[in-house]
């Protein structure tokens, strides 16, 4: 039997990163994917959702040209929107993508991989063996235990798995869950013509986010006639003909479709982990800081380990796991040494890294909160993008504990703060870094200026000394 250097199970972001890098350094790699290369992110997750959001944004702008002084009478028909999304994904997932894996032996769409022993897996009747194995099977939608939900016909019950295969934009859409997927799709479909209701059990949308950020997003949703029902319990769901009804403790919602966006669960069952003694729980496969399972030649990377359900984190873990698997020394690279930012691609965008204000105060940290509104900056005003703010959690010495950005290009300008925090730079370092004017990222420098001015205002001795030195 041929013995591979590495078997990678799952070809989503984590598996793609690991297999491409491993083959690039000359390792003999076998990659197994039960569906499509790219996993959910490329095929039915973060990439198609961004395609939909871009289409929705264009439609929104076309009907609001007056803000730019353009008078128009535009009619738009959005019935081809989802077809365009599918065309874009088909183009991305074509030959150009597969070129990265020319040196990887691929088993695609032949069934699930299951463990035979700690060095072997089986696909169908065929057994494959390797020195090391990376599990990168990702997650799938978590379906909550709601009375009647299982009885709803599949064509009326959407998740990200079948959302982008729909032929038409539903006239009425009820979304269960107000996390990232729920919020992005609420705005996307509303801008393409759907009447949207979000039913959410937590106190505010994006419960993992700064509450001020959620407030800005909810205010925008009100303007776009997206109805948000926070702190709302669902009693039951039922179907009558071609309509789905969601009964809560306060309302009855009638919809053409419902979208379930209530989180994720790891894809583990088919692997038969217990057969070889790999430990796991309901969050995912248990790994150490080097991303090894309790079986030291087997690593678990990406969403399947439950550490951080973001595609960029999965890619990063794939790289770290490969580096650790190559290194025979006991000194390994630990995944928790690297910050994980996140972004939600609504309008306005929301991005964050490190602690939120609520988390910092809960920890009892002595912090200074610096907040800069987009509306205070000329570029944001002329762009018509005055919603939002930058909020920095810092202290008197300028240590950065966390940053939340709400507004135009938040997902891009957050990375300056990730770099600063990763390499222990301070507010003073941001202040002394020249930013090209008038970019949106100039707001990063402006908020650091506010921090410095606040220090001077609160310390009259420094002000007096500075004035005297200037006058010498």
Give the tens place of pLDDT for each residue, 44-97. Answer: 999 999 999 999 999 999 999 998 899 988 888 888 999 999 999 999 988 888
Tokens of 97: 């993508």
pLDDT at 288: 98
Q: Answer yes or no: is pLDDT of 467 > 90.
A: no
Determine the 3-state secondary structure of 440 from DSSP. coil
How far, in Å, CA of 210 to CA of 414, rounded? Answer: 15
% of the chain beyond a pLDDT of 90: 92
Q: Is the pLDDT of residue 465 over 90?
A: no
Q: Please check whether residue 363 is in contact with residue 331, taking contact to mean a CB–CB distance below 8 angstroms.
A: no
Domains identified in the chain and CATH numbers: 3-38+93-141+265-337 (3.50.50.60), 149-262 (3.50.50.60), 348-462 (3.30.390.30)
Q: Give, in order, the Cα–Cα distances in Å from 31 to each of 66, 204, 238.
A: 52, 41, 42
pLDDT of residue 24: 96
Under 8 Å between Cβ of 322 and 311: no
**Using CB atoms within 10 A of its CB, is residue 66 exposed (0-12), middle (13-18) or buried (19+)?**
exposed
Residue 466: the pLDDT is 80
Under DSSP, is residue 33 helix (H, G, I), strand (E, B) or coil? strand
Residue 133: name the closest of 247, 254, 276 by CA: 276
Using alpha carbons only, what angle is made at residue 291 by residues 290 and 297, rounded to the nearest 5 degrees?
A: 95
pLDDT of residue 286: 98
Give the separation between CA 108 and CA 120, rounded to whole angstroms: 18
Cα–Cα distances (Å) from 250 to 231, 369, 409, in that order, read: 10, 37, 37
The predicted model gives 220-247 an average pLDDT of 97
Q: Which of 94-108, 127-141, 343-357 has the lowest mean pLDDT?
A: 94-108
The pLDDT, as a whole number, for residue 1 is: 81
Q: Would you state the pLDDT for residue 96?
A: 81
Q: What integer pLDDT is reported at residue 75 of this predicted model?
A: 87
| Alpha carbon separation from 191 to 179, 181, 341, 366 (Å, rounded) | 18, 15, 27, 42
Tokens of 66: 């007056």
Q: Among 4-13, 178-187, 411-420, 462-471, whose mean pLDDT is lowest?
A: 462-471
pLDDT class of 463 with cuts at 50, 70, 90:
confident
How far is residue 341's CA from residue 417's CA, in Å, rounded to a whole number?
Answer: 9
Q: How far is CA 143 from CA 195, 261, 442, 443, in A?
A: 23, 8, 43, 40
Mean pLDDT within 160-174: 96
Mean pLDDT, residues 196-225 taken together: 97
Tell me the pLDDT of the chain averaged across its residues: 96
Please give the Cα distance from 329 to 93 (Å, whole number). Answer: 38
- For residue 70, the model assigns a pLDDT of 94
Q: State the average pLDDT over residues 439-446.
A: 98
Q: Tell me: pLDDT of 461 over 90.
A: no
Question: Over the stretch 316-359, which tens digit does the pLDDT of each residue have?
Answer: 999 999 999 999 999 999 999 999 999 999 999 999 999 999 99
Q: Which of 225, 148, 215 is nearest to 186 (CA)?
A: 225
- Which of 144, 143, 183 minimizes the C-alpha distance to 162? 143
pLDDT at 470 over 90: no
Q: Which residue has the tokens 């991305």?
A: 92
Strand boundaries in 94-145, DSSP class E: 104-108, 113-117, 120-123, 126-135, 139-141
In this structure, is the dihedral angle defined by the CA atoms of residues 444, 450, 451 and 453, taken in order, positive or negative? positive
Confidence at residue 380, expressed as pLDDT on a 0 to 100 scale: 97
* Mean pLDDT computed over 19-28: 97
Residues in the chain: 472
């Amino acid at each position: 039997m041929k013995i591979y250097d590495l078997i990678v199970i799952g070809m989503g972001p984590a598996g793609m990163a690991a297999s491409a890098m491993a083959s690039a350094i000359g390792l003999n790699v076998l990659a197994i994917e039960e569906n499509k290369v790219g996993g959910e992110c490329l095929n039915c997750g973060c990439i198609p959702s961004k395609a939909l959001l871009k289409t929705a944004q264009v439609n929104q702008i076309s009907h609001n040209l007056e803000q730019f002084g353009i008078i128009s009478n535009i009619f738009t028909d959005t019935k081809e929107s989802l077809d365009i999304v599918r065309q874009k994904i088909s183009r991305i997932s074509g030959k150009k993508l597969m070129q990265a894996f020319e040196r990887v032996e691929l088993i695609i769409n032949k069934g699930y991989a299951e463990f035979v022993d700690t060095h072997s897996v089986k696909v169908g009747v065929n057994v494959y063996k390797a020195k090391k194995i990376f599990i990168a099977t990702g997650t799938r939608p978590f379906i909550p235990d709601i009375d009647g939900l299982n009885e709803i016909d599949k064509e009326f019950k959407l998740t990200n798995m079948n959302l982008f295969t729909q032929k038409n934009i539903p006239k009425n859409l009820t979304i269960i869950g107000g996390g990232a997927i729920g919020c992005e799709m609420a705005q996307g479909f509303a801008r393409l013509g759907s009447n949207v209701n979000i039913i959410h059990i937590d106190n505010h949308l994006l419960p993992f986010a700064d509450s001020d950020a959620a407030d800005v997003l909810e205010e925008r949703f009100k303007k776009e006639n997206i109805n948000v029902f926070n702190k709302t319990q669902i009693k039951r769901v039922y179907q009558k003909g071609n309509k789905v009804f969601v009964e809560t403790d306060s309302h009855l919602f009638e919809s053409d479709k419902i979208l379930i966006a209530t989180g994720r669960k790891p894809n583990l069952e088919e692997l038969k982990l217990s057969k070889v003694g790999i430990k796991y729980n309901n969050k995912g496969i248990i790994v150490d800081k080097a991303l090894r399972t309790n079986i030291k030649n087997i690593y678990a990377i990406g969403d399947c380990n439950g550490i951080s359900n973001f595609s960029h984190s999965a890619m990063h873990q794939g790289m770290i796991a490969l580096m650790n698997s190559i290194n025979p020394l006991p000194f390994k690279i630990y995944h928790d040494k690297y910050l994980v930012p996140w972004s939600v691609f609504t309008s306005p965008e929301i991005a964050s890294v490190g602690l939120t204000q609520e988390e910092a105060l809960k920890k009892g940290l002595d912090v200074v909160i610096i907040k800069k509104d987009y509306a205070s900056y000329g570029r944001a005003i002329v762009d018509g993008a005055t919603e939002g703010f930058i909020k920095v959690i810092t202290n008197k010495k300028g240590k950065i504990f966390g940053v939340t950005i709400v507004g135009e290009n938040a997902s891009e300008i957050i990375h300056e703060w990730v770099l600063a925090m990763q390499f222990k730079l301070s507010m003073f370092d941001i202040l002394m870094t020249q930013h090209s004017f008038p970019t949106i990222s100039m707001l990063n420098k402006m908020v650091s200026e506010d921090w410095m001015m606040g220090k001077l205002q609160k310390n009259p001795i420094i002000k007096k000394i500075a004035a005297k030195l200037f006058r010498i």
